[in-house]
Structure 1
Amino acid sequence: MICSCASSPTGPISSIRTTMADVHPVTHVIFDLDGLLLDTERMYFEVREKLCKKYKKEYTLEFHADTSGVRGLEACELIVSKLQLPLTAEEFYNQSKELYQKEFPSAILKPGAERLIRHLHSHKIPMAVATSSSRGHIELKFTNHQDLFSLMDHVVSGTSDEEVKNGKPAPDIFLVCASKFQDSPLPEKVLVFEDAPNGVLAARAAGMQVVMVPEDHIPEEKRSQATLVLPSLEVFQPELFGLPPF
């Protein structure tokens, strides 16, 4: 059954959707990073758009949705192939990497991210981050948020951690991340937060529930696999998944 909620404590909400049959209590939480906790997807888009324009090619928001959540070099392979750029994926990756290193330290938190993380931590809910970013990029993004991200039990990198054999939309990163919790919870006891369609597919393939907070340009059909779709972390209600309410 699809349940639509017309309002929330913060005002009218028209894009909340949940498949009620899927919802059950969880004990652990895994967060994606880019576009979910940190406003870095905008940086990825702007850098890739800039590089593609240099070669007189258009990098659109619609195409960006297909590359979101994908490991860096794999995303560059998709871009170079689809747009037929006159360089290798490795060259595109290296050019973009230089620009990212300038941008990532200024990354800001997405609305509701800090409130939710500190709330879950205060109630001793185990939390972790699972991101396709490399360790080096993760550290840059954490520059102004070390205190907040120190509350995580661990951080798994889909690019740098050898245990993650396949990138999103494969389930590897979430299964590896869950296995690193002290009590190694069953997948059905883990709630994933994602913004990207590839991340949602990965979480579902791992047997986990997933709350999606998509950008406006993500089409409806790419939101359909999420357990819950929200316009912002600000309106998330933890008690729906058996977590302590705000």
Structure 2
Amino acid sequence: MQYKKVTHVLFDLDGLLIDSEKLYTEAFETVCAKYGKTFTWMLKASLLGFQGYECADKIIKELSLPLTREEFMSECQTIYEKVFKNVELMPGAQKLVEHLYNKGVPIAIATSSSQESVDMKMQNHKSFLNYFHHITMGSSDPDVTKGKPDPAIFLVCASRFPDKPAPESCLVFEDAVNGVKAACAANMQVVAIPDPRIDKEQLKISTLVLNSLEEFQPELFGLPSYA
């Protein structure tokens, strides 16, 4: 497989740089169980990459929960405030991000989360965020009109680098099918690092699929190698 040289790198956040997806699952399971409903992996898989209110709407609809969007999100928020204090970086995240930063590669984060959510999850990882030129937050950014799989978030994120790289010059890292679809729709190459339970068939549009950020070889995409 021949990969195209890139100059800029965009990272998803949840489930890719930080191990937060299991904490979202914990919150959704807890709230659903309160109303006698089961939050399944199948439902979870369909939500990956969605903005917060989209997740709430779909869970309420699929499980017929007796809650409004606001009530559901408020109950989840209470749990988030407890569990997100302990979120950890994913294996290989610190090494890769630090390496690209030190080599002068422009990097940014494109997350469906809101500013408030990012602040809460990254409260113990503030220095890690300093490596990134900027963060585009889908749920609180007026320029991001639609959530993934729409390409809006990646196109907006790329446009905020001072040199405004062409989409073809950007490499995206994603863990979710909706995120992979969004990157492809933006005409960017995409490295998928999915939850092992995701059906590989859904990821075949990815440029490359890895088990972990630790496996990534920057030189494949014309980026400075670790050596």
Show the counterpart of 2:33.
Answer: 53
Show the counterpart of 2:203.
Answer: 223
Residue 242 of structure 1, CA deviation: 0.6
Residue 151 of structure 1, CA deviation: 0.9
Secondary structure class of the residue paired with 1:159 = helix
**Unaligned 5+ runs, structure 2:** none
Structure in which a larger fraction of residues adopt helix: 2
Matches within 5 A, 1:103-142: 103-142=83-122
Matches within 5 A, 1:93-172: 93-172=73-152
Show the counterpart of 2:69.
Answer: 89
TM-score by length of 1: 0.90
Show the counterpart of 1:209.
Answer: 189
- Aligned-pair RMSD on alpha carbons? 0.9
Question: Matched residue pairs, number?
Answer: 226
Residue 221 of structure 1, CA deviation: 2.1
**For structure 1, which segment, 33-42 or 220-229, has the greater mean C-alpha deviation from structure 2 after superposition?**
220-229
- Which letter maps to 2:16? L
Matches within 5 A, 1:65-76: 65-76=45-56
**Unaligned 5+ runs, structure 1:** 1-19
Identity %, equivalent residues: 50
Secondary structure class of the residue paired with 2:9 = strand
TM-score by length of 2: 0.97
4+ residue runs over 2 A deviation: none
Contact 1:32/1:194 (8 A) holds in 2: yes
Matches within 5 A, 1:8-47: 20=1, 23-47=3-27
Contact 1:192/1:209 (8 A) holds in 2: yes
* Distance in 2, Cα, partners of 1:81 & 1:107: 29
